[in-house]
Structure 1
Amino acid sequence: MLPRIIFCITISAAILAVILLAVISPVAHKKQQKNHQTGPSIALSLYIQHPQRTHHKTPPSAASNAVAFIFHHTITEGPENTSPAIGKAQGFIIPIEHFAHSMFNIIYLTFNTPHYNGSLSVQANHMTHMAREDLTVVGGTGSFAFARGIAVFAQDHPQPSDVDAMYNVKLHLKFPS
């Protein structure tokens, strides 16, 4: 009987010690404060230019039966074609309905400037083909390592069926602290 009482008291004391440590521990309070802090953030505005065509034998079109869109465009500081190039926008998008939420639908923005060197991955699996798209930044490398946020793609002067419209991209990025 006495060993059973000692065992119950020992177990009760151990449970009480764990609860007290969790409540008054300085580590628990630091974690709560850390969760409320946000890391650094960046806001960038840039432009995606379509490549200059040397011949116009076939007019550009987005066919409804297209299997995939593969693109490689230049990112510039300003809206003009002559604006300094700061990177590349590349992607592979499958517009077929059963691939609409595929992880393959990613736009890669690669930067090579004195201030930023790295890339961002933008998820493009919820595109609605509107003049403005709010897409999710799901990660990055280099200067953009672990970036998360929003990439707002907006067509400058949108025209119906204008697949060669220039895009203004506004990035709102957050980084872990």
Structure 2
Amino acid sequence: MRPRIIFCIAVSCAILVVILLALVSPVTHKKSRKPQTRPWLALSLYIQQPQTAITTDPRPTSFDSKGAFIFHHTLTEGPENTSRVVGRAQGFIIPVEHFAHSAFNIIYLTFDMPEYSGSLSIQANQVHDKGREELTVVGGTGVFAFARGLAIFSESDHQLSMIEAMYHVKLRLKLE
């Protein structure tokens, strides 16, 4: 009989301690804080031809025999070819009708700046070559990890020539 009474007192004390801790715990009395959301990030950059001394192929991009659009360009802060290089723009796009919605149609913007180091993946499955395209940012790495948003590509007013096409890229990103 005596062990049962001790057991009942121990269980009662344990229950009382749990109830008291729940009532006087500092965690339950803290004000609820909204999760910290990061603001939208807006960037304005230019995609230019890489500056090389000798050019064997004057075309700004290359097409393989099946029609794939492959490019490797320089990403700069401004429209001038002397602007600071901040990264690279690379892509592989298959504009053929039955591949128009292919997962391969991605543009990668790689940044190499102290404040922005990483890359962005931009889905390019609806490119119509109308001079202005609104594409979807589908992810990234580094500072841009899990980025979502919009990338607007437009032909720049600062074209150097018909051969050296330049694009203005406006990014509106939501970083997680």
Q: What TM-score do you get using the length of structure 1 for normalisation?
A: 0.70
CA contact (8 A) 2:79 2:158 kept: no
2:80 maps to 1:72: no
Corresponding residue for residue 140 of structure 1: 140
CA contact (8 A) 1:62 1:163 kept: no
Deviation at 1:150, TM superposition (A): 0.2
Indicate how the Cα distance of structure 1 residues 99 and 82 shifts in structure 2: closer, same or farther if over 3 A, else same.
Answer: same
CA contact (8 A) 2:119 2:141 kept: yes
Indicate how the Cα distance of structure 1 residues 142 and 57 shifts in structure 2: closer, same or farther if over 3 A, else same.
Answer: closer
CA contact (8 A) 1:61 1:163 kept: no
After superposition, what is the alpha-carbon deviation per residue over 1:2-40, rounded to whole angstroms, capped at 9, x for unaligned?
xxxxxxxxxxxxxxxxxxxxxxxx9xxx8xx76xx8542
Deviation at 1:163, TM superposition (A): 6.4
Q: What TM-score do you get using the length of structure 2 for normalisation?
A: 0.70
After superposition, what is the alpha-carbon deviation per residue over 1:75-128, rounded to whole angstroms, capped at 9, x for unaligned?
011111111100000010011111000010000000010100000000000111
Partner secondary structure for residue 95 of structure 1: coil
Question: What is the letter of the counterpart of residue 45 of structure 2?
Answer: L
Question: What is the letter of the counterpart of residue 67 of structure 1?
Answer: G
Indicate how the Cα distance of structure 1 residues 52 and 112 shifts in structure 2: closer, same or farther if over 3 A, else same.
Answer: closer
CA contact (8 A) 2:134 2:151 kept: yes
Corresponding residue for residue 124 of structure 2: 124
How large is the Cα RMSD of the aligned pairs? 2.8
Instruction: Detail structure 1 runs of 4+ shifted over 3 Å in the superposition.
Output: 55-63
Indicate how the Cα distance of structure 1 residues 102 and 56 shifts in structure 2: closer, same or farther if over 3 A, else same.
Answer: same
Structure 1 stretches lacking a partner, 5+ long: 1-25
Partner secondary structure for residue 120 of structure 1: strand
